[in-house]
Chains A and B, each alone.
Chain A
Amino acid sequence: MNQKPEMKVTIAGVELKNPVMTSSGTFGSGQEYSEFIDLSKLGAVVTKGVSNVPWEGNPTPRIAETPSGMLNAIGLQNPGMEVFIKRDLPFLKKYDTKIVVNVCGHTEKEYLEVVDRLSDEPADFLEINISCPNVKEGGIAFGQDPKAVEKITAEVKKHAKQPVIMKLSPNVTDIRIMAKAAEAGGADAVSLINTITGMKIDIDRRKFALANKTGGLSGPAVKPVAVRMVYEASHAVKIPVIGMGGIADASDAVEFLLAGASAVSVGTASFANPYAAVEIADGIREYMIKYQFEKIQDLVGAVG
């Protein structure tokens, strides 16, 4: 029996040592989690969204727990691209992992400003956040109309030196149309799902649980929706799909690979267990040994 399955995956010509990444916004820029896990054991670290200038984010409360999930409305608080490039990127560069910089903006111009600024920096991929439900301008505003998705993808591609991953929103009627629009715009890959817009009300105080009223639902509660959308998207486009949404253990990750994801990403699970992403990478390997898969590619889309 093969005890050493090949864990490497290649996305847009970039080789990752395994298919496990971290989901943007759940992992900061890796520094906090590096106290618990070796970041070099991850396929890639995906950073919190980075904008052209520092963003304050939303008022608190920003977090609410829900059954098997949570709502967040952080509002893309981030220190801005200059501090990110000076402080956070060099920190990540010390590790033997790929770096995916998540890019956010209010306007096309702001996205492009960040993309341009990163062109000579050591980022392996850019992930373009057109799906954040918690900011008034930008974010999801670009992600719910296929024409807007194609246009911003094409503009980003004109400027980007690195491969571009478009991060898609599940808050759409048909995810296949959005994935195809990103592909038509020249995206190198798509990642999905971002959070599902939700709401929680505190009945004792008769107030919204979140100051922003609505927030993004994540965690195991969204997983079946995410698996379905990854399946649909991966059958609609030829570019790789990075699957995420409620992955809490290796069996969840395998489900996404079987549905058609070329790589997976661990988000909210890191809050419940800071070691989750590394444990999931190990668990995928064990699954491959158990069922005698030689390489990750053999798992991708192997449901049927």
Chain B
Amino acid sequence: MKEQGMAVKSTCEIVSQKKLCPGIFDLRLNGPEITKEASAGQFVNLFLNDRSRILPRPLSICETDKEKGILRIVYRVTGEKAGTAELSGYLPGTRMEVLGPLGNGFLSDERYPDIAVVGGGIGIPPLLGLCRELPGKKTAVLGYRDHSLFLKEDFERTADRLLVATEDGSYAVRGNVLDAMEAAEYVPSCIMACGPLPMLRALKMWAGQRNIPCFISMEERMACGIGACLGCVVRSVKTDPHSQVKNKRVCRDGPVFDAKEIEL
């Protein structure tokens, strides 16, 4: 996995925020200190202005514009009382504290001639930056719940090919990302994925059966985001050298892991 650059905490100003479809928001922040070091698959901690919500929101970076210092985050509002609901109400010009970039992102590896970039639901956004960074041929495989196809146009412009599945069959292949790959008889040389646990589990098995390298971005409830609190662990196959038990920290050792190393 790619080693992280130095994280900084800085005050960032919201440049724009728009609703892409019900519950999905597209936030752009001015954060040159953070974008400078960021790479695909990393995340940032956003601190809300309502300080009664004491924990930061760990949100993956969708993409960065390093020249302009713009950080793009596409996130889902998870409930009326959720911190993300507060965040979605912030207007351009609002300033907020941001800590990042955090975690280890995807490795841009030139050994793989044809990479499948596989995203499910709100796991889709961080793969856009990955598509931009990957040097070789890449196919984006996106799984949506329904026809709310957020970021689809962005991926059409960025990936060499796009495969889409919707759970309700309202667009393209009915089913999940694996259904879309099988419908296209597509077998990549490497998989890089982010999405819900059942999707990652299925991909790990599918890739394992075909001996295809598979890298997955994991999610877990976090507090500190920097590796100190041990809140966000996932089970590892082998004893982890840091923890000395079969636990790895999503925030610090991940969020991107080689699927072979993790028990799903």
Q: Which residues of A contact B (CB under 8 A)?
A: 25-28, 32-33, 35-36, 48, 54-57, 60-65, 67-70, 72, 74, 77, 79-80, 83, 204, 219-220, 248, 268, 270-275
Contact = CB atoms under 8 A, between A and B. Distances in A.
B54 A61 contact: no
B150 interface: no
Given A54-B244, A74-B231, A274-B226, A63 B221 contact: yes
B231 A79 contact: no
A74 B247 CA distance: 12
- The residue in B47, B221, B229 that gathers the most chain A C-beta atoms within 10 A of its C-beta is B229
B168 interface: no
Contacts of A74: 229-231
22 contacts: A28-B228, A32-B227, A33-B226, A35-B226, A48-B230, A57-B245, A57-B247, A60-B233, A62-B230, A62-B231, A62-B233, A63-B232, A64-B221, A65-B54, A65-B83, A72-B223, A77-B243, A77-B247, A79-B245, A80-B244, A248-B54, A268-B223
Interface string B225-256: 11111111110000000111111000010000
A68 B52 contact: yes
Interface string B17-59: 0000000000000000000000000000001000111111000
Query: Can you list the 8 inter-chain pairs with the closest CB atoms, starting with the nearest?
Result: A79-B244, A28-B228, A63-B231, A54-B244, A63-B221, A32-B228, A61-B221, A56-B245
B220 to A, nearest CB: 6
A60 B221 contact: yes
B224 interface: yes
Given A28-B227, A74-B231, 16 more contacts: A25-B229, A26-B228, A32-B226, A32-B228, A35-B226, A55-B245, A56-B246, A60-B234, A62-B221, A63-B229, A77-B243, A83-B244, A271-B225, A272-B47, A272-B55, A274-B224
B227 A271 contact: no
Contact of B9 (A25, A36, A68, A70): A36
A98 B46 CA distance: 32
Interface of B: 6-7, 9, 47, 51-56, 79, 83, 97, 99, 220-234, 242-247, 252
Nearest to A80: B244
Contact of A72 (B56, B226, B229): B229
Contacts of A271: 54-56, 223-225, 229
Contacts of B224: 26, 32, 270-271, 274
A54 B229 contact: no
A270 B9 CA distance: 13
A65 B229 contact: no
B254 to A, nearest CB: 13
B207 to A, nearest CB: 24
- The residue in A33, A55, A63 that gathers the most chain B C-beta atoms within 10 A of its C-beta is A63
